[in-house]
Each structure stands twice: as structure tokens, then as C-alpha cells.
Amino acid sequence: MRSPLGLYVHVPFCASTCDFCAFYQTTPTREGVVGYLDTVGLELALVNWRRPVDTVFWGGGTPGLLAPDDLRRMGETVRAACGGVPAEWSVELAPASVTDARLAVLKELGVTRVSLGVQSFSPELLDALGRQHTREQVYRAYERVREAGFSSVNLDLMFALPGQAAAAWTEDLREAVRLKPDHISTYCLTFEEDTKLWVKLSKGQVKLDTEHEARLYERTWDALAEAGYGQYEVSNFARPGHVCAHNLNTWHMHEWVGIGPSAAGQHGGWRGANPSDLIKWGENVRRGVRMNEDATRLTSALLAEDALIFGLRLNPGVDLGALRTRFSGVAGWADLDEALGRMREQGLVEAGDVATARLTRAGRLLADAVGAELMGVLSE
């Protein structure tokens, strides 16, 4: 059975920069958009496609800022490179960018999954984040996406926002559940360098409160479970049949191709990224160069370590026997068993099942710290 192949396309255009966002973005111009579309086609032609693509994900930036005809052009280019319509095709949309014309093109292309960047239903919190949409635009966008008939609809939400009390987060969850999306992603606000929120943090204008964050994590898990959403990853919840296959393939350390400025990929024995610069990316592609930032040759130990660490973020955990079989040439399994044993004693990993490494509820709250402790355990 062949392993799945994904394709990620980064659309870098945004009308403005949200206070929390560290993703590469630039203000769109007609010249910039046309050059971007031309270069996407050129870069796709540079890829050594050895099998059809199973999943596609368009992220940003704001893919929905592209005009309908531009969306159609990019979609047809991507579809030709993929060898047909992928089984799952996800597109991120900002609520303010959703129009019937754009949705009609996406539906015609074969897009199956739309992810709306809602973040919050509170006008005050949206303003604090620098978001450019209103609560009313969220409702209208969701209604339009549902009317267009996409197979899956996801809502992205954020918690632990500056000034957000526990009751306000509970209300956001309640409102999201009321809309009945197929999938809900909930992300704890992080303070990335070179963002407006990072500057506010450094000046003491906002503060971190890890205990408050933990309480909101647990409130999220309980509320969404009660509403019928199965948690399958620390931040992701879905109704049956609506998990994001593209993300699962990535977390399991299968292959994916990254296209566009700042896009990362793992394909053909290498992991790397494109430069976070629209002009430089275009110059590289025209010279036949791609994925040259932080280029790393993949080893079995590196892939095994990442499959372990990302796999532990998944609720089913990691089948250690399958991991050893897949990466049979890797050393350090005894050290891994010892490390996991310590974590079982600490209550971070479930006890009683040495064949599977699965985080407890307490372990999921410390998933990043658990992953950091396991780095370097496995080797060639």
C-alpha cells in the first residue's frame, strides 16, 4: 500500500496583518497576483511527481482574496499537476472574503473542505486581534458556504486572547456548536516574534497566564465532547467522517509538496522551505530552484522522531510496534522505552499499555514539553 501524498499551496496575499499572525503575507497588487499565479505553475512543473496527489490544502495569507477567475486558473493548474481531483481539497477563507462567485468556482474545481478563520464571535476580541471581519460577516459567510454544499466545513477559533475571560470563551464555543460545523479547530494564542502581539507582550501590555490557558484547554475538550465532536488531535475536533486527512498525513510524517513563498515541504528524500519573499521565490523558481531554505536530507531517525512527537499529539497515540517496523534501521528504542516509562510514572503517558504511547489528559496539556523531552532519543 503506497503512502499518501499531500500538496500545500501558500497564497501570501492579505489586505492587512492580524496582530497575532506570523505567516508570510503581502498586500496584493494585480501585477503581484499575476506573477504569483505564473510562478505557481512554473514551480509545480519543477516537482518530480511520482504518484497522484491525495490531499490538497490552500492556506495563507488569505486565498479568498484571489478573484474568481484567478481562483479558477490556479485550481485548474493545481488539478492538472495532481493527476485529477484529489480525495480531499481544503481551502482557508477569511469570512470577509467569502462571496457566492468565489464559492461557485471552488465548488466547480472540486474543493471538498472550507475552513473559515472565525477566531472569535466577540466584536471586542476581534478588534483586539486586528481581524478585518465582523460577527455578522461570520454568520453570512457560514451561511453561504453551507448553501454552496461543500462536504466539510471547519471553523477556526482562538482562545486565551488578551482580555478574554473563561465565560467569553465558553460563549464562543457555544456559538460555534450552535452553527453545527463538521469540524472545529481551537488554537491557544501564541506570541510569535515580529508580531504586534509580541511587541505588546514585551512591553507588558499583555501577559501570559499558563494556568488560565490550561483551564480553557480542558473546558474546550469537555464542551466539544459533550456536543458530539471527537477530539483527534490536541487542537482539532470533528464529527465522524470529517477529520482533516491532509493534516493527519502530515502528522504521520508522510510526504507533502510545498508550493509558494514560505511554503515548506517534505518530498523526495528532502525537507525544506521556499523563501518568505514573493520576489525572491519567483526568482528562484525561474532559475529552477525550490525548497532551498533550511534544506535537510531526511533520515529514518529524523522521520521516526517526528512521527513519534507529532503522533503523540493525536488522541489514538502512537503504535510503537508499527513505528519500529516502519523505521527498523533506527537505534535508541530502549532509550525511548525508558523515557516513556518515566512519563507513565509522571502520569503523562497512559499506564498499562506499553505497545502504545498515548498521552493522558495531563500529558496533552504538556504535549510540547513531552515532545521536547523525546527529541534526540532515536538515532541512526
The pLDDT tens digits for 32-72 are 899 999 999 999 999 999 899 999 999 988 899 899 999 99
Mean pLDDT of the chain: 90
Cα of first residue to Cα of last residue in the chain, in angstroms, is 25
* DSSP annotation of 294: E
pLDDT at 198: 41
User: Residue range 215-236: average pLDDT?
Assistant: 96
User: Residue range 225-244: average pLDDT?
Assistant: 97
- Report the Cα 367 to chain-centroid distance in Å: 17
CA distances from 25 to 21, 62, 370 (A): 9, 9, 32
Question: Which of 19, 21, 40 has its CA nearest to residue 278?
Answer: 40
Distance CA 93, CA 98 (A): 7
β-bridge mates for residue 58, sequence order: 9, 91
pLDDT at 209: 64
**With 60 as the cut, is the pLDDT of residue 197 above it?**
no
pLDDT at 377: 93
Neighbours of 27 (CB within 10 A): 12
> What is the CATH number that goes with domain 300-374?
1.10.10.920
Written as one letter, the residue type at 200 is K
* 378, 301 contact by CB (below 8 A): yes
User: Residue range 263-291: average pLDDT?
Assistant: 96
CATH class of 5-250: alpha beta
Tell the burial category of 209 from Cβ atoms under 10 Å away from its Cβ (0-12, 13-18, 19+): exposed
Question: Which of 267, 248, 254 has its CA nearest to residue 313?
Answer: 248
**With 70 as the cut, is the pLDDT of residue 182 above it?**
yes
Q: State the helix-helix crossing angle for 166-179 and 210-226, rounded to 10 degrees.
A: 30
pLDDT at 191: 43
**With 80 as the cut, is the pLDDT of residue 362 above it?**
yes
**Per-residue confidence band for 380, with pLDDT thresholds at 50, 70 and 90:** confident
pLDDT at 29: 87
* DSSP annotation of 120: -
The residue ranges of DSSP E strands in the chain, in sequence order, are 5-11, 55-60, 88-93, 113-119, 152-159, 183-188, 230-233, 236-238, 255-259, 264-267, 270-273, 293-297, 318-319, 356-357
| Residues in contact with 82: Cβ distance below 8 Å, sequence separation at least 6, in sequence order | 7, 52, 53, 56
Q: Where are the domains of the chain?
A: 5-250, 300-374
Percent of the chain with pLDDT over 70: 91
315-355 per-position pLDDT tens digit:
999 999 999 999 999 999 999 999 999 999 999 999 877 88
